[in-house]
């Protein structure tokens, strides 16, 4: 079959290049349409009860993750100039298109009492820009008598001021959010320069906007770095500018197809899919090196370029297909995970790997058929004394020191288990950012001065129309708030109960000592003062009570917490909630972005463990097609699973937490590292056939033949993945470091442990099915003579 394929390729070069060119132009057009994802990563499946509860909450009360915050520490904030600067900044931001509301100490809402109409009035605390210090002092005195705002907009202990900026929901999930956040930041930066003061930014819209821009910037950076690393490696190995340019051309076409496929499937660029082009660069160069090595071996053996190209594709075409399929299956395991982002990552990567293989196996013979044959300088790498010496040492180890190999492996396994037990999980929103990153530092500023900015919501269903307005319900809400405020992770709450306390204070002429839940008789008077019509006052409580007055919410902000910390906190909070709101009378759901994100991370970690299992199963099934021996599959998986254990140990010892961005390392590394085992076993089986089942001779022969390619490709992979270590995202850094480490360890285990096991287990591992009855034959080995078909191909090529 492969003879017919290579013959078709070489006889139809212009047509094939034209077709690939047309497809590439089309993919390039699609790639120009690919978009960045501006949405918050959803990790829970749609049917999950936590996610459904959050969706219902947003339908009832609106988005809880649309607030950006700006903070400053200014002891002189109540000086006229400083106060007016903050006043101007707040008002200028409010004027921007897409800003729904701005709340600060200069834009705080004030309650009043109209004794004639028997109605509360609502208006701004600062009615106009102050023109004197006396006015500012009056505002200050009034503001500090309002317990409602203490700890929300101003921290009197640290002189920290907070400004909350609510974005229009329509601007949250598209690229217009970047422009809007940029406009806000420009105004704040002008304020910063004019007042010579340090400014802090945070809030989910801001964090998402900045990280999205980082993803966009790193997308191109990693592509360029990957290609530079690939070009250097290719030149060092093959000493040919033509080889480098040819390889980069194939890589460039592959990248265009990756982005085109992403667009065609309707997917967007996320923090995960953003690394796919660089992954394809690395895998494509691995294929290029493998094909070039075989091409040079063939050419050196008989000196005929076309025959060398033909035999290269014939002999390794299917082997390369199987190794690329194994790699694709490592990524395809993510498709089975119930997460949209990971599923998209798995789909695009697995499809792209197979298409990249088809491009490489097609374009390389065509391009090199137009070039001059390789010179002695280009094939000098085949006689590398360094790699030859390494191979000789490996042969000595597997033939004379196998007990030492097993002892060393056992020690590594024991140490790895110890490290595995030290692994920790994490799931913070800013977990992938460096602790020196401004986003991380600013978030800590808000946690120190205001308790945090991550939304934590409690939704209460009274099961009765107007049930929210009952005195017993309001008293329970206040009791709930007092209970939760005992935990230092939470800020001061916003709720109907806090609004009623403020109303009571207003009813008693602003006396701050009256900021409390009214008695049952007072409640009737206070409710009679609430506005009966729509407007600023009528809509005031709309965000906290639904239209039927059956549902209400209690809103907190909290610190950014990991999954373990959040789980422990919720286990403490829930019993108190249930004791205050009896489950048989009320339905209380704890939700909000912070809770959903933590729950989603926990869900994802458990499911990603399953993805490793899926990867093992899929790769094992693939290997069963090639080797038809359960024993051989089990033996070959050992040297590829131990490196995963080593990686887990490194994470445990070094404190790298287990999270979605680091757990994907295991499936990816397994899919790539098993390629070496497949290549080795294919040669080992072929050696058994031609050596009359001489296991020792076959194991050594396979090692000598495969070691060069295994070492070459492993070096490429290790260096290629290392480019990710310069990322600004901790998860991407860990991805590069951990996969590089895993593949490096896996190379030695496949070069040393796998041959050792085959020689030790001897005939137990070598079954009749393994040798005689493969479903597919991976490795073809012809004699060096040229048969009639090959002669015909060469002559036809010369005539062309």
Q: Residues 591-600, buried b or exposed e (16+ Cβ, 10 A)?
A: bbbbbbbbbb
> What is the pLDDT of the chain when averaged over all its residues?
84
Residue 783 confidence class, pLDDT cut points 50, 70, 90: very low
Residue of 439, 467, 465, 466 whose CA lies nearest to 453 = 439
Res 116: pLDDT: 74
Q: What is the pLDDT of residue 349?
A: 92
Instruction: Cite the beta strand spans of 251-382 per DSSP E.
Output: none
**From the centroid of its chain, how far is CA 260?**
21
Which of 208-217, 254-263, 773-782 is predicted with the least confidence, judged by mean pLDDT?
Answer: 773-782
From first CA to last CA, the distance across the chain in angstroms is 23
Beta-carbon count within 10 A of 140 CB = 16
> Residues with Cβ < 8 Å from 221, sequence gap 6 or more?
none
Element (H, E) at 184: helix 176-195
Residue 537's pLDDT is what? 46
The answer to whether residues 200 and 70 touch, using CB atoms and an 8 Å cutoff, is yes
Half-sphere CA count of 223, side-chain side, radius 13 A: 19
Token couple for 539:
């809509």
What's the rounded Cα separation, in Å, for the pair 766 and 769? 8
Beta bridge partners, 457, equal 555, 591
Residue 41's pLDDT band, with cuts at 50, 70 and 90, is: low
Mind listing the pLDDT tens digit for each residue in 697-716? 888 888 887 787 788 778 88
Q: Strand 551-558 vs strand 494-495: parallel, antiparallel, or unpaired? A: antiparallel
d(CA 555, CA 686): 68
Global pTM value:
0.77
**Which residues are CB-contacts of 307 (< 8 A; sequence separation ≥ 6)?**
298, 786, 790, 793, 794
Q: Check: CB of residue 171 under 8 Å from CB of residue 183.
A: no
Cβ atoms of residues 99 and 167 within 8 Å:
yes
Q: Which of 181-195, 337-351, 525-539, 768-782 has the highest mean pLDDT?
A: 181-195
Which pLDDT band, with edges at 50, 70 and 90, does 531 fall under? low
Rounded-to-integer distance, Cα 585 and Cα 583, Å: 5
Q: Work out the average pLDDT over 136-155.
A: 89
Residue 46 Ramachandran class (φ > 0 left, ψ -120 to 50 alpha, else beta)? alpha
CA dist., res. 457 & res. 661, Å (int):
27
Q: How far apart are CA 149 and CA 151, in angstroms?
A: 6
The distance of Cα 105 from the centroid of its chain, to the nearest Å, equals 38
Of residues 674 and 87, more confidence is placed in 87
Two tokens, residue 278: 């660089």
Per-residue confidence (pLDDT) for residue 38, from 0 to 100: 67
Half-sphere exposure of 239 (CA within 13 A, CB side): 10
The answer to whether the Cα torsion of 165, 171, 175, 179 is positive or negative is negative
CB atoms within 10 A of CB 773: 11
400-447 pLDDT, tens digit per residue, is: 899 999 999 999 999 999 998 888 877 677 777 777 888 889 999 999
Segment 214-270, tens digit of pLDDT? 777 777 888 888 888 888 888 887 888 888 898 889 989 999 999 999 999 988 888
Contacts of 42 (CB under 8 A, 6+ apart): 51, 339, 340, 341, 600
Q: Above 60 in pLDDT, residue 454? A: yes
Query: Bigger pLDDT: 190 or 300?
Result: 190
DSSP single-letter state for residue 269: B
Q: Give me the residues paired with residue 200 across strands.
A: 71
pLDDT value of position 138: 93
Task: From 557, 601, 572, 567, select the one nearest 430 (Cα to Cα).
Answer: 601
Half-sphere exposure of 104 (CA within 13 A, CB side): 25
Q: Are strands 160-167 and 67-73 parallel, antiparallel or unpaired?
A: antiparallel
Q: What is the dihedral of CA 367, 372, 373, 375, to 10 degrees?
A: -120
**Virtual CA dihedral for 364, 369, 371, 377, nearest 10 degrees?**
70
Radius of gyration (C-alpha) of the chain in whole angstroms: 33
Do the beta carbons of residue 298 and residue 307 sit within 8 Å? Answer: yes
Q: What's the whole-number mean pLDDT along residues 175-199?
A: 91
Q: How far apart are CA 452 and CA 516, in angstroms?
A: 25
How far apart (Å, rounded) are the C-alpha atoms in residues 271 and 782? 47
What average pLDDT does the segment 526-539 reach?
Answer: 58
**What number of CA atoms fall less than 13 Å from residue 652's CA on the CB side?**
15
């Amino acid at each position: 079959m492969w003879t017919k394929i290579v013959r078709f390729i070489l006889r139809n070069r212009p047509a094939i290049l034209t077709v690939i060119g047309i497809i590439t132009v089309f993919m390039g057009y699609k790639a120009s349409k690919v978009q960045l994802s501006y949405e918050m990563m959803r990790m829970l499946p749609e049917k999950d009860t936590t996610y459904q509860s959050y969706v219902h909450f947003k339908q009832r009360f609106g988005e809880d993750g649309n607030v950006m915050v700006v903070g400053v520490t200014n002891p002189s904030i109540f000086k006229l100039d400083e106060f007016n600067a903050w006043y101007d900044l707040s008002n200028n931001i409010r004027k921007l298109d897409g800003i729904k509301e701005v709340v600060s100490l200069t834009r705080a809402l004030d309650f009043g009492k109209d004794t004639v109409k028997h109605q509360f009035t609502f208006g701004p605390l600062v009615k106009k820009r102050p023109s004197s210090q006396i006015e500012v002092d009056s505002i200050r005195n009034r503001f500090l008598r309002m317990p409602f705002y203490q700890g929300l907009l101003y921290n009197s202990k640290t002189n920290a001021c907070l400004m909350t900026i609510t974005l229009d929901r329509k601007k949250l999930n598209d690229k217009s959010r970047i422009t809007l956040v940029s406009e806000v930041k420009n105004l704040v930066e002008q304020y910063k320069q004019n007042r010579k003061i340090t400014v802090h930014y945070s809030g989910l819209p801001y964090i998402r906007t900045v990280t999205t821009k980082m993803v966009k910037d790193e997308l191109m950076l990693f592509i360029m770095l990957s290609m530079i690393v690939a070009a250097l490696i290719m030149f060092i190995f093959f000493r040919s500018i033509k080889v480098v340019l040819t390889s980069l051309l194939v890589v460039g076409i592959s990248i265009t197809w990756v982005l085109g496929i992403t667009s065609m499937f309707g997917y967007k660029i996320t923090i995960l899919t953003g690394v796919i082009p660089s992954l394809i660069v690395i895998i494509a160069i691995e294929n290029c090196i493998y094909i070039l090595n075989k091409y040079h071996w063939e050419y050196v053996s008989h000196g005929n370029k076309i025959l060398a190209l033909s035999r290269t594709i014939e002999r390794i075409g299917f082997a390369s297909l199987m190794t690329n399929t194994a790699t694709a299956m490592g990524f395809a395991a993510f498709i089975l995970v119930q997460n949209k982002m990971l599923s998209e990552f798995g789909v695009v990567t697995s499809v792209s790997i197979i298409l990249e293989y088809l491009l490489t196996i097609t374009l390389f013979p065509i391009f090199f058929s137009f070039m001059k044959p390789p010179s002695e300088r280009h094939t000098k790498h085949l006689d590398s004394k360094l790699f030859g010496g390494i191979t000789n040492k490996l042969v000595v180890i597997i033939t004379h020191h196998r007990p030492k190999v097993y002892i060393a492996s056992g020690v590594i396994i024991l140490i790895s288990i110890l490290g595995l037990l030290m692994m920790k999980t994490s799931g913070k929103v800013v977990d992938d950012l460096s602790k020196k990153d401004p986003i991380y530092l600013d978030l800590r500023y808000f946690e120190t001065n205001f308790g945090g900015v991550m939304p934590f919501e409690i939704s209460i269903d009274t099961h009765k129309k107007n049930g929210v307005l009952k005195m017993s319900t309001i008293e329970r809400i206040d009791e709930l708030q007092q209970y939760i405020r005992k935990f230092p992770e939470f800020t001061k709450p916003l709720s109907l109960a806090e609004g009623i306390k403020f109303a009571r204070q207003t009813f008693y002429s602003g006396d701050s000592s009256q900021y409390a839940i009214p008695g049952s008789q007072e409640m009737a008077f206070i409710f009679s003062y609430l506005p009966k019509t729509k407007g600023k006052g009528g809509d005031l409580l709309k965000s906290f009570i639904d239209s039927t007055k059956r549902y209400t919410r209690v809103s907190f902000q909290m610190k950014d917490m990991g999954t373990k910390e959040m789980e422990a906190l919720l286990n403490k909070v829930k019993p108190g909630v249930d004791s205050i709101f009896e489950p048989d009378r009320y339905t209380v759901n704890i939700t909000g972005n912070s809770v959903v994100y933590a729950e989603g991370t926990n869900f994802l970690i458990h499911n990603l463990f399953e993805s490793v299992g899926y990867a093992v199963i899929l790769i094992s099934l693939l290997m069963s097609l090639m080797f038809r021996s359960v024993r051989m599959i089990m033996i070959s998986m050992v040297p590829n699973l131990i490196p995963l254990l080593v990686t887990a140990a490194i994470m445990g010892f070094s404190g790298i937490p287990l999270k979605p961005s680091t757990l994907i390392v295991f499936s990816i590394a397994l899919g790539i590292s098993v390629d070496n085992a497949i290549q080795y076993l294919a040669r080992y089986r072929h050696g058994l056939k031609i050596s009359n089942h001489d296991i020792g001779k076959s194991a050594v022969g396979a090692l000598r033949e495969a070691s060069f390619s295994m070492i070459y490709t492993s070096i490429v992979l290790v260096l290629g993945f290392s480019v990710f270590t310069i990322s600004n995202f901790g998860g991407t850094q860990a991805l590069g470091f951990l996969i590089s480490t895993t593949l490096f360890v896996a190379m030695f285990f496949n070069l040393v442990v796998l041959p050792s096991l085959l020689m030790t287990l001897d005939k137990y591992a070598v079954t009749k099915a393994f040798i005689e009855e493969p479903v597919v034959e991976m490795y073809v080995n012809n004699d060096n003579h040229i048969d009639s078909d090959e002669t015909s191909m060469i002559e036809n090529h010369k005539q062309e």
